[in-house]
Structure 1
C-alpha cells in the first residue's frame, strides 16, 4: 500500500460539486489522514509544518470520477476484440473466458484499475460476470485493494453459465468472513451481479434476489431484453416491478430500449440506472439520458469494458454525450456541469457513497483530481467546467489522489514500492491466454484483411440474440 501523507493543495480552482462549498478560485484544500479538513482561500494558513504541499496554481481540482459498471476481468481482451469477422465482443469473450487462470483475473483487474487512475477515476464498481470460484473472486478483490482505489466488487456467475444455475450463493455469504473491515481498508464493499428473469427461470432469480436481500447486498443487472426477444418494444421493467425485483437496492445497466412505462417503473421504485454511452452507441442504441433525468431516475455513468475497445477517458465520454444529446433531443437538461455531476456525486449516490466521496466537502475522504488549466487545449477559457467538458482530455490530468494517497503525479502513475508494472504483466498474461485457448482449439487469430480505403469491408456486429455487453 502506498504511504499516505497529510496534503495541502495550494492555490487551485476548486469545482467542489457541493452547493454549500461551490466553486472556489484560488483555494487551498487541506487533507489530513485521508480526510478533507478545510477548503478555502486561507486553509493553508492552518496546515501543519510537516504537510506535503502540492503547488497547484493554474489548475482545477475536481472530486475523483466514479465509474459504476466496469467488467474488469475482460480488460485482457482489448486488442483481441475488434471489427473483423470473428472478433466481435461475444465471440472472443466466449472463446477465452474459460481459459482464464487466477493470475489472469488479478492482472486484468490491475490493468483496468491502472487505466482508471490515469483517467482520474478513483472509484470503480467491478461487475464480475466470470466468477468461476472463490479464488477468482479473491483475486479481483486483492487487485482492487492493491490498486489504491475505492469501489465495489459485485459477485456474478461464470461466463455463459447455464440458465438453471444460480450464482455461488454460499460463497457470496462467506465473503465477509474472508475479507474483514481491516482488510478492506474502508475502500471496498460487496454486491451481487444477477442475470434476472429474462435470462433465468423463477427458481433461480427468486432465490438469488432473496439471498442478496437477506445479506443486505446491493443488486446489479443488465437490462437487455430487447436484444434477446424478436419484435421487442420495451425493456420489460414493468414486469420486474410487478415481481418485486426493482427498488433502491437495484442498479439496472443500459436500459437503452426502455419505454415510457419502463422509465416510470424505475422512477416509482427509485431504481438506479448506470449508462455506458460509448458501448451502448456502438452495439445497442442511444442511451436515454435525457428521458431518465427528466423522469427523476437516479443516473450514473460507466465505461463498461476496455475490451470493446474503449478507454478510461471520462472527459472524452462526456463530450460525446453532450454532443449526442444536443442532436438527439436538444434538451437543456444536459449541460457540462450536469454531466460532471453524473461523473462524480451522482456516481457516488448510485453506490451509496455520497456521504464519503463525490464532492470536495470537509469531512469527506480525499478522492481528488487535479488538472492543469493552463494547457494549450484549455486556454483561453471562460467557465472552467465548460472548458473541461468541451476540450479537456486525459493529458491535462496532473495529479490523482485516492483516499489521501497520491496515485498519479506530474502526469505519471506513482507505483507502490517494488510494484510490478501492471501494463507489462497484463500484456504477457494476454499472450499466454491466447496460446492456451489456441492449443485447446477454442481460438485462432482471424486473417488480417487487405484494406481498400475506397471499398472497406463490412465490420462484424453483435448478433441480435446476444444481448448487451455482459
Structure 2
C-alpha cells in the first residue's frame, strides 16, 4: 500500500508549496509581541504572583513581583517600583521559569497517535515507512505544530531531535521553523531514518549549518549532533561521530539502553571504554541501564533524559527514575514524539516521572515535586549548558517565564504551589508565556499563531503522508 495513495506528484508539489507559504507566514509572525511597542526600552512588571523561582537562594515568594526589561530579569521581590513599566496583575497566578523540553522528535508531530495500533504496524515500522514520504515543507510543518503546542504548554526551550534529515533542504526547513518560533531551541542534526548502519552522517552539511549559525551571532537556536550510537551502528561510525563533535565543539545525544535486547550490547560501557562520556553527552531513555551503567554515568557527568510517556507506550519499559536520582545524575525530561505521547503535556511527563520513582521504589518520599520541576527547568537548562542563562527566576537571566492561572477549578485549593504545578496543572491552565522577553501566549491565547490554519495544514500533511 502506498502511503501517498490518491495524491499524485503534482498534488504533492502543490501541497509542499502551500505548506512552504505557511512557513513563511509564521516566519513573519513568529517574533511574537514585544512587551511594549517600539524598539526602545521595554519593561513589564508582574505583580502579586506566587513566584516559584527555582533559585535556591530565593526559594518561593508569595505575593511577589518580577520585573522584566529588554529580555532580561532585572528585579525580584515585593513592591518593586518601576516607573513606566507595563503592569501585569499576577494575583491568583503561579509564576515559574519557562519549561525546558530536553528531547523531542518534532518533524512527525502531525502523525499524532497514528501508531502503534492493533491493525497496523508497530511504531518503528510505521515510522520507517512514513519518513520516506516527507518533504522539507512537511518536516517543517511537524516542527511548527510541535512548537505551537510547546508554547501553549509553557515550554520556552525545545530540543528538536531531527532524525529524518534526508538532505540539506530538510535541515534548512526545520531550522527556519525553529528560528521563526520565538522559542529557544537546540537543533540536534540527525540522519535519514533508513540510513544504513555502515553509512556516515552528512558531516559536510552539519559543518555548513554550524558555520551558518555562528555567522548569525548569538541566537536562540544552537546546534548539536543526534547520533544512532553503539546500539545501531558499529564502532567505526559512532567513534567517527564522537571525533567530529570533539573537533567542532558540539554536544552529542543518543538513544541508549532502550530495551533488554539492546542492553545486551552494553552500549554505555562501550562509550566508557573509549572515555567518551562527559557533560556534553546526553543519553536518552536509558530504561535498561544497570547498576554499573548508572555508576559510570555518574562519574562521567553525562546527563540522562527520560521521556516516560513514550517509553511506556512503545514498550521500552519503566524509566529507572529513582535509581538515577539517588545516584545524583543530571536528569531532564522530554515529550519525545506526539506519535506516542499523544500531546505536548510537560506536566503529565513530570507527574509520571514522580509516580514512577515512588511506585518503583515503594517509597512515597523517594522524590519530591520540586525535584521533578527542577529537571523541567534548571536541570534541563544545565544539561544544555545554558544554566547560567535560563532555568530559574534569577536576576540577570533571560526573561523566560510562565504564568499559571491557579484560580481554575482543577487547582483549587492551592495548598502547595510546587506540588500543584507538577500534579495538577495542564496546558489549559497556562495564562501567559514569555520567551526571551517576548510574549508568546497571553490571556490563555497564543499570539501570532493562526491555530485554525495550522490545524488545516496538519490535516493536509497527515493525508499526504498516510494517504
Q: Same fold (TM over 0.5)?
A: yes
What's the secondary structure of 1:382's corresponding residue? Answer: coil
Corresponding residue pairs, total = 428
CA shift digits 1:182-209 (9 cap, x unpaired): 4x76211000011112321222112111
CA shift digits 1:99-133 (9 cap, x unpaired): 10111011110000100011111100111111111
What's the secondary structure of 1:53's corresponding residue? Answer: strand
Flag the 1:239–1:394 CA change in 2: closer, same or farther, 3 A.
same
Report what 2:421 is aligned to: 388
8 A contact 1:233–1:257 mirrored in 2: no
Residues of 1 paired with 2:438 and 2:459: CA distance?
27
What's the secondary structure of 2:108's corresponding residue? Answer: helix
Give the TM-score taking structure 2 as reference length.
0.88
Report what 1:427 is aligned to: 459
What's the secondary structure of 2:340's corresponding residue? Answer: coil
Report what 2:6 is aligned to: none
Post-superposition shift, 1:227?
Answer: 4.8
Residues of 2 paired with 1:179 and 1:354: CA distance?
20
What's the secondary structure of 2:339's corresponding residue? Answer: coil
Report what 1:66 is aligned to: 100
Report what 1:137 is aligned to: 171
Post-superposition shift, 1:320?
Answer: 2.2
Report what 1:378 is aligned to: 411
Post-superposition shift, 1:91?
Answer: 2.1
What's the secondary structure of 2:48's corresponding residue? Answer: strand
Give the TM-score taking structure 1 as reference length.
0.87
Give unpaired runs (5+ residues) of structure 2: 1-30, 36-42
Q: Given the alignment of the two structures, is residue 320 of structure 1 paired with residue 352 of structure 2, yes or no?
A: yes
Q: Which stretch shifts more, 209-218 or 313-322?
A: 313-322
Flag the 1:79–1:316 CA change in 2: closer, same or farther, 3 A.
closer
- Of 300, 303, 309, 1:269 maps to 300
- Of 195, 203, 206, 1:161 maps to 195
- Of 257, 264, 289, 2:288 maps to 257
Report what 1:463 is aligned to: none
Report what 1:462 is aligned to: none
Residues of 2 paired with 1:252 and 1:235: CA distance?
13
Q: Which stretch shifts more, 419-428 or 9-18?
A: 419-428
Report what 2:34 is aligned to: 4
8 A contact 2:405–2:429 mirrored in 1: yes
Structure-to-structure mapping, 1:4-153, within 5 angstroms: 4-5=34-35, 6-43=43-80, 45=81, 47-49=82-84, 51-153=85-187
Post-superposition shift, 1:175?
Answer: 1.1
Structure-to-structure mapping, 1:343-354, within 5 angstroms: 343-354=376-387
Residues of 1 paired with 2:73 and 2:453: CA distance?
30
- Of 183, 186, 189, 2:219 maps to 186
Post-superposition shift, 1:429?
Answer: 1.7
Residues of 2 paired with 1:106 and 1:412: CA distance?
23
CA-atom RMSD, angstroms? 1.8
Post-superposition shift, 1:234?
Answer: 7.7
CA shift digits 1:279-300 (9 cap, x unpaired): 1122211101111111121111
Flag the 1:327–1:362 CA change in 2: closer, same or farther, 3 A.
same
Post-superposition shift, 1:427?
Answer: 2.0
- Of 289, 295, 304, 2:321 maps to 289
Q: Given the alignment of the two structures, is residue 306 of structure 1 paired with residue 338 of structure 2, yes or no?
A: yes
Residues of 2 paired with 1:187 and 1:420: CA distance?
27
Residues of 1 paired with 2:457 and 2:74: CA distance?
38
CA shift digits 1:387-408 (9 cap, x unpaired): 2222222221111110011111
Q: Which stretch shifts more, 87-96 or 402-411?
A: 87-96
8 A contact 1:70–1:126 mirrored in 2: yes
- Of 245, 253, 274, 2:276 maps to 245
Residues of 2 paired with 1:421 and 1:37: CA distance?
37
- Of 309, 313, 319, 1:278 maps to 309
Report what 1:454 is aligned to: none
Residues of 2 paired with 1:412 and 1:391: CA distance?
20
